[in-house]
A and B are shown apart, each in its own frame.
Chain A
Amino acid sequence: MEFRLSAQEENLRKNVERFVLDQLIPLEPEFANAPDIFEGSRWKSRVKSSDDPEIKRYLGIMEGLRRKAEEEGLWHLDVPKHYGGLEVSNVALIAVTEELEKSSVPFELGNHVSNILYGCTGEQIEKYLWPCIRGEKTSAFGLSEPASGADPSMMQTTATPDGEFFVINGTKMFPTFADVADFVQLFARLPGTSGRDGVTCFLIDTGAPGYSIARSIATIAGSEPCELIFENCRVHKSQVLGEVGKGWALNQAWLGARRFQVGIRAHGKSARVLRIVRDLVRHDEKARDRWASTIGHFLGETEALRTLTYLGAWKADQKLDVRAEAANVKLFATELLHRVIDFALEVAGPSGLRKNHFLARAFRHARATRIVEGPSEIQRHIIQRALFREGIAGLELS
C-alpha cells in the first residue's frame, strides 16, 4: 500500500504549485474585489459580450494566465494522448486541482472538454471535438427537464426517427452556459420507450432551426442556467453521439467523472474558509478559545474529504466501479462545505454576509452544490443501493 504520488505525478504537482505561487497568489488582492462573474475559468454569459472596462480587464488577466499556463505545458492535462494531450491520471488531476485551490483566484487549467465528446466519430471529431480541445467551442449539457431532475430516466423529450433525421420535441432545464455555448449535448428518448431505454445523445448546434434558448435563469449561486426549447427540431442522424438508444451510459459517464473534482474543490474551499476564520479570530483571544475546537473538528473533516477523494480517483484510475465512491465524495464534500461555511458565518457575524465578501459568495455558491449534478438524497440512494446489492464487499480492501 502506497499513498504517495508517483514521481511523474509529483513533478506535475510541483509545477502547478509553482504556477500558483508565481502567478495566482500575487493576483489575490486584485481578485478580492472582483465582480462576481467567474465560475472557474469560465465567465458568465452576459460577461463575454460586456463593454464594461473593469470586466474586460479581468477577462484580460484570465487570458494572460491561460497563455502562461499553455507556455508551461499545463493546459491539456486531461486531454487523451491521441489528441495531443498529456492524459494524466485522475489522481494527478486531483493533485493539480488541490494546488490550484490553494489560491482564491478562480483560475482552472484546461478547456474542460466534456469527457463524452471523446466518443465523437467521423465528422463529429473535426466539427466538435477538436474545436473544444482547442478552446474554440464550448458545449452545454442538456439532461434535466421541468419534470425530471434527480431522476433523469423520467425525461420526456422525444427524438422521433424520420428517414435520415430525428425530430426533437421537448424542454430542457438548467444547462449552464447554453446561451454562450456553440452546441448542446442533448438527451432525448425514442418514442415509446421509458426509463433508461431509448435514451439517445445528440449534438445540436446553437441556432439550429427548432432549437431556441428561451432564457437564462438567475440562481442563488450566481450561475445562470438556461431553459432550452426544442420544437420540431430536425437533426441529421450523423449528429448522434455514440449509438442510437445507448445514451444513458453517456450521461452517467459525464456525471461520474466530475465527482472527484467536486470533492477536491470543496476540500480547497473549505480549507480557505477555515483560514479566513483564523484571520477573523487572530487578535481576539476569547474568540480563539471559543471556536478552537470547532475549527479543529472541521480541519479534520476537511482532511478526511481529501483522503476520500484521492481514494476515489485512484479507484477510477484502476478502472474499477466507482459509483459508490463517487456518490460518497459528492455527498461528503458538498455537505461538509455547507457546514463549514455555515460555521464561518457564525464566527464572522453579519459582516460576513456583505455582498462581495468571500464568505457571502461561498455561502451562496455552496448551497447549489448540494443539488446540482445529483442532490445529496440521490447520492445516499446510490450508496444504499450498492450496499444492499453487494453487502460490505464494496468496502473491503483488496
Chain B
Amino acid sequence: MAGGGRAAGALALATLARRALHALLLLIGVSLLSFLLLELAPGDYFSEMRLDPRVSEATVRELRARYGLDRPLPERYLRWLASIARGEMGYSFAYGQPVGPLLWPRVRNTLLLTGTSTALAWLLALPLGAWWATRRRGPADAGLAGLTALLLALPDLVLVLGLLLLAVRTGWLPAGGMVSLGHEQMPWGARMRDVALHLVVPVTALVMGTAPMLVRYVRAGLADALDAPFVTAARAHGLPERRVVFWHALPAAANPLISLFGLSLAGLLSTSLLVEVVVSWPGLGPLLLEAILARDFYLVLGPVLASTLLLAGGNLLADALLLAVDPRIRSDA
C-alpha cells in the first residue's frame, strides 16, 4: 500500500508540475502580448517631453538612444526579459530607477491586503453558508438571500466610498494609506497594530465584495451534499448535526469550493486595484494608475505582470489543494 501511496504522490507532483509549466507559458505569453501592445502605443515618456519647448529634438533623440528605445523591437523585448532575470524589469523613466525595487514592496502590500481578505472571506463564508444550508425556509433564509443579493449588486466603488465615509465621519479608523506618521519610530507591536488599523477599511470592502458569492456557493454545495444518502445514514446513527455538516457533508462539497477559490481570485485582485486607489493603499493599483498617467511603459508592465503572477500562483495553490483533497483528480493526468 505504501508503494501505491508513493506512486500516487509522484503522480500528483507530476500533475502539479504540468500545471506550473502551463502557468509559466501563460506568463510568457502575457509578457509578450503586453510588451507588443505597449510598443504599439502612440508616444512614450519622452514624446511627452517633446511638448516642452525647452527640450530640443536632439536631446530627446539622445535620451531615447541612451535607454535603448531606438533599437529594433525583438532586441528590446530580449533586453527586457534579461532585465527581468536580473530582477530589474526594465527602467522607470518617471522614477529614474529600475522597476523591480519599486515593484516588490507594492506586490507585498497587495498580497497582504488580498491574502487577509481572502482568508477572512472564507472564514466568514464557511460557517455562514453551512448555517444557511441547514435553514432552507423561514426568516433566516429570506434574510440571507436578500442580504447577499444586495451585497452582490452593490458596486465596489460605492461600497468602498461608503466605508471611507464611515471611517472619516466616526474618526475611529484611519482614512487612507497604510501607515501613520511616525510609523518608523514605533516599537514593533505598535507598528503591527498601526498597519492592522489601516487594513480595516480596505479589507472590509474586499470581504463584503467577495464573501456574498462564497456564502451562496457554500450553501448551494452543502445543500446538495446534505440531501445525499450518506448524510441520512450519518444522522440515523445519531451523530450530532454539527459533526454531520462539517465532518461528513463539507468534504463532499469541497471540490467545487476549492475551484471557486481559484476563480474568485481574479475578481478579488480586480476589486483590490480599485480599493487600493481609493484608500491610497500603496499596492499595485496606485502604481499602475500613476504609470499609466505618466506614460511610463515599463512601469505599466510591472504591475500587470505581477498581477498575472499573483493570479497564476493562486490558481496553482488551488490546484495543489484539490490534488491533496481529491485522489480522483490525480488519475486523470
User: Do they bind each other?
Assistant: no
